[in-house]
Structure 1
Amino acid sequence: MTAANRLLEDGATHESLSLRAVAREVGIAATSVYLHFPDKMSLLLAVYERHFVELINHIDQAVAQQTDPVARLRATAAAYCAFADDHPDVYRVMFMVPSVPDLPREISDDQLPGAAIIESVHEIIKDCIEAGRMPRTDPYAATLCLWAALHGIITLRAARPYVPWPPLDTLIDTLLVGSIGAT
């Protein structure tokens, strides 16, 4: 799994990654990899799951002390961005390596890496709406819009470092108030 992650960090795509390439990276026989991962999808899911557990733990620690729903939402957004800043290669593997367009097999909802984070933010946004701290809207759509906006902030700051970006906290606060109306 570590070798697969390293190959993805170094620019491999889902298409170019293979169990044989992982075996070469580690210096073992290809058949040895098959003892742990029956197919490439199982290997990729293991890589993503490990990273998403790290991200979830990071977010959970940031949110643990917050009781106000907007403060929880802000802490979640800040922790997500901080994780991306602290682990740029991991973030790239999680969100910027092109996905598999035609999955070789069905993946159940509970196997989808990141589903727990989406559900957690969805619940926080529902809490914000129910508390009257956000306008009534589709909380799932708001969750995906928030994710897209945070991803945009993260990737643009990395890709365009010469832009005089305001501090990350300012960008997050502006996003939460201006875009999704959290007050």
Structure 2
Amino acid sequence: MTVVLKKPHKSARKPKGDGHLRRGEILAAAERIFIAEGYSGATIRKIADAVGVSSTALYMHFRDKDQILLEISNDAIERLLELNTQIAAQPIDPVSRVRVMLEAYMKFALDNPNTYQLVFCSTGDHISVDKTADVLALGDRCFEKFSEPVHQIAAQGRLRSGAAKEAAEVLWSGCHGLVSLLITKPERGWSDADQLMKVMLDGLLYGLVTD
């Protein structure tokens, strides 16, 4: 019996003028490869093959892997900042605003697991600080927008423990921990994600905020 070994799958080479340089397609392929093979294991050639373009064509859009990862990160944080900005404009009390922001954050993570794992669950040590400065500044703006209603709650004297900044960090880190585990440990057999998110928010907010 002859065993035929299959070659690794590559997308069919796309003809010129057929959208083969679309950045979104390249970014999506890069996300999958970064997650599957790690940043060091991913190469421009592998990303180009997955999209069905030549490495030369890919370099017309991105100069290197760093730029690809930074664009993925920038896009994700911009989307979260836009969500927080929209929620901040709603005429609701600060506790409800915090809850809606955290719900939106966790749903974003679960709806975009590859993006979330790549942007928020990796150390980023492989990229120099000077290259990541703009993304870090954008992340600070996103966190500040989330922190605004927490500071309002503190100003009302409604925090049971800690200062506003500490409370905001605890709220965010608790929700980050939950969605990170749901994404990276799916074999754990978790309860319903929506119910877990509700219990998480109830526990955090009822524990930190007075009536």
TM-score range, shorter chain: 0.7 to 0.9
Cα offset, 1:69, TM superposition: 1.5
TM-score (norm 2): 0.70
Residue 30 of structure 2: aligned partner: 4
Change (3 A) 1:149 1:57: same
Confirm whether residue 24 of structure 1 aligns to residue 49 of structure 2. Answer: yes
Write the distance in 1 (CA, Å) between the matches of 2:91 and 2:148.
14
What is the distance in 2 between the residues matched to 1:133 and 1:101? 38
Amino acid at match of 2:139: G
The equivalent residue for 1:143 is 168
- TM-score calculated relative to the size of structure 1: 0.78
The corresponding residue for 2:189 is 161
Contact 2:73 2:119 in 1 (8 A): yes
| 2:128 matched residue in structure 1 | 104
How many Å apart are 1:86 and its aligned residue? 2.9
Question: Percent identity of the aligned residues?
Answer: 28
Q: What displacement does 1:165 show? A: 7.9
Deviations 1:27-72 (A, max 9, x none): 2222322222223221101011222233333444444424322111
Q: Which amino acid in 1 is paired with 2:180?
A: T
CA distance in 1, matches of 2:39, 2:190: 31
**Residue in structure 1 matched with residue 157 of structure 2 by the alignment:** 132
- 2:209 counterpart letter in structure 1: G
SS of structure 2 residue aligned to 1:106? helix
Are the aligned partners of 1:62 and 1:79 in contact in 2 as well (CA < 8 Å)?
A: no
Counterpart selection for 2:65 from 10, 15, 40:
40
Q: Which amino acid aligns with 2:98?
A: L
CA contact (8 A) 2:88 2:97 kept: yes
Give the conservation status (yes or no) of the 8 Å contact 2:33–2:42.
yes
Structure 2: which 5+ residue stretches go unaligned? 1-26
Higher Cα Rg, which structure:
2
Residue 176 (str. 1) matches residue 205 (str. 2):
yes
Q: Larger relative CO (CA 8 A, sep 6+): 1 or 2? A: 1
In structure 2, relative to structure 1, the CA distance for the partners of 1:106 and 1:166 (3 Å cut) is: closer
Please name the residue that 2:147 is paired with: 122
Q: Does 1:90 align with 2:90?
A: no
Is the Cα–Cα contact under 8 Å of residues 80 and 105 in structure 2 kept in the other structure? Answer: yes
Distance across 2 between alignment mates of 1:77 and 1:61: 13
Unmatched segments (≥5 aa) in structure 1: none
Q: Which residue of 1 aligns with 2:13?
A: none
2:78 maps to 53
